[in-house]
Amino acid sequence: MEGIDFHHGDKKKEKKSRLVLEGRVSIKSFLLGLSVLLIPVAGASLGRLDWPPSTDYAAGAICVHVAAVNALLLLAYGGPRSPLYQVAVRACFLGVAFGCGLVLGLSRTTWTRLGWYVCSLSFFHYSEYLATAAANPRSLSADSFLLNHSAEYGLAAALSWLEFAAWRLAAPPERGGGGLWLGRLSAAAGLAMALGGDGVRKAAMLTAGSNFNHVVQSERARGHVLVTRGVYAYARHPAYAGWLQWSVGTQLLLGNPVCALGYTVAGWRYFRRRVEEEELALVRFFGEEYAEYKRRVPTGLPFISGVRVG
């Protein structure tokens, strides 16, 4: 029995080490993708680039950069089927997106808000993985990036891009169109909302630690405790509240009034169902302890009270 126990302990330690390695690989790969920022620096030193980058130079250089970096990742992590490569290529892609968004966001054009949106979107998905690696490495997988969250999520993102393009065509800001929605005020408010919401969500993930999971659990795991400290002392579902705030903020950042309203309604309906589903499980897990916590602390989501506890 002792030999089996020690062997089991070694396997658990080996798994934990592997998961920590995946987190480190993601950081290195994200930074490798972020090295796309060297392109405008190199272009300026060669006299090939003004600020912002010209489209022809930037597109070609980025394609070459992505191809070279992908080849390096394939060699480093054992081919396209390797789990480490699957993590690395996703983190690298998000690093490239963040770098390109930063270049566009800092440029003197009317497209800066799109750049900051790309930064917010790419960092949200990368930090989901990194926070999971830090808080609950046992649940870590390539799906922790949430890039394949759902078909509805992808459709909502596509609709926001279409609305942004429609506003640009119908009321280009360089001609004084767009009014409040394409003005700097909405962009600043949206960026502040997105940053704040993402910060609240990641604080919730790190505070919950191993108790956090992207999937609602139907059975209580060993060591699962009710977390009531930190941000959970002010809201029962701060991760959901932060996600809703982040998503609506991204639409204000883009200047999308229709999607801002749509994201608010759809997000509220989704999280109402999600909160009820999760709280049914929490009542089963913790009984009166959760009922008392529920009486003291709101959900953190407007007009959502959760399940009734008799």
Residue 174's pLDDT is 62
Are residues 193 and 136 both part of a single domain? no
Averaged pLDDT, 229-256: 97
pLDDT at 176: 54
pLDDT of residue 58: 72
Please identify, among 127, 143, 159, the residue that sits at the C-terminal boundary of a domain: 143
Same domain? 241 vs 194: yes
End position of a domain, from candidates 77, 109, 143: 143
Residue 5 has pLDDT above 50, yes or no: no
**Whether 156 and 294 share a structural domain:** yes
| Complete DSSP assignment for 179-197 | TTTTSHHHHHHHHHHHHHH
Question: Is residue 200 domain-shared with residue 275, that is, in the same domain?
Answer: yes
Asked if 91 and 183 sit in the same domain, the reply is no
Q: How confident is the model at residue 38 (pLDDT cuts 50, 70, 90)?
A: confident
Q: Please determine, for residue 278, whether its predicted confidence score (pLDDT) is greater than 80.
A: yes
* 199 and 59 assigned to the same domain: no
77 and 159 belong to one structural domain? no
Please check the confidence at residue 246 and state whether its pLDDT lies above 70: yes
* Same domain for 160 and 131: no
Q: Is the pLDDT of residue 56 over 80?
A: no
Check whether 211 has a pLDDT greater than 80.
Answer: yes
Lowest mean pLDDT among 34-43, 61-70, 263-272: 34-43
CB-count exposure of residue 132 (10 Å: 0-12, 13-18, 19+): buried
Domain match, 164 and 133 both: no
Report which of residues 174 and 294 the model is more confident about.
294
* Joined tokens for residue 200: 């609240």
Q: Is 30 exposed, middle or buried (0-12, 13-18, 19+ CB in 10 A)?
A: buried
Going by C-beta distance under 8 Å and a sequence separation of 6 or more, which residues neighbour residue 78? Answer: 84, 85
Model confidence band, residue 169 (pLDDT cutoffs 50, 70, 90): confident
Residues written for the chain: 310
Grade residue 47 by pLDDT with cuts at 50, 70 and 90: low
- Domain endpoint, select from 84, 118, 143: 143
- Chain-centroid distance, C-alpha 186: 21
* Domain span holding position 27: 1-143
pTM of the model: 0.88
Shared domain for 154 and 251, answered yes or no, is yes
Co-location of 130 and 168 in the same domain: no
pLDDT of residue 13: 46
User: Percent of the chain scored above 70 by pLDDT?
Assistant: 85
> Higher pLDDT residue, 184 or 191?
191
Chain CA centroid to CA 248, Å: 14
Averaged over 88-97, what is the pLDDT? 98
Is the same domain home to 126 and 199? no
| pLDDT value at residue 10 | 41
Q: Give me the number of domains the chain comprises.
A: 2
With b for 16 or more beta-carbon neighbours within 10 A and e for fewer, the 87-108 pattern comes to bbbbbbbbbbbbbbbbbbbeee
* Bigger pLDDT: 20 vs 199: 199
Which has more pLDDT, 249 or 45? Answer: 249
Q: Provide mean pLDDT across the span 1-11.
A: 35
CATH number of the domain enclosing 241: 1.20.120.1630
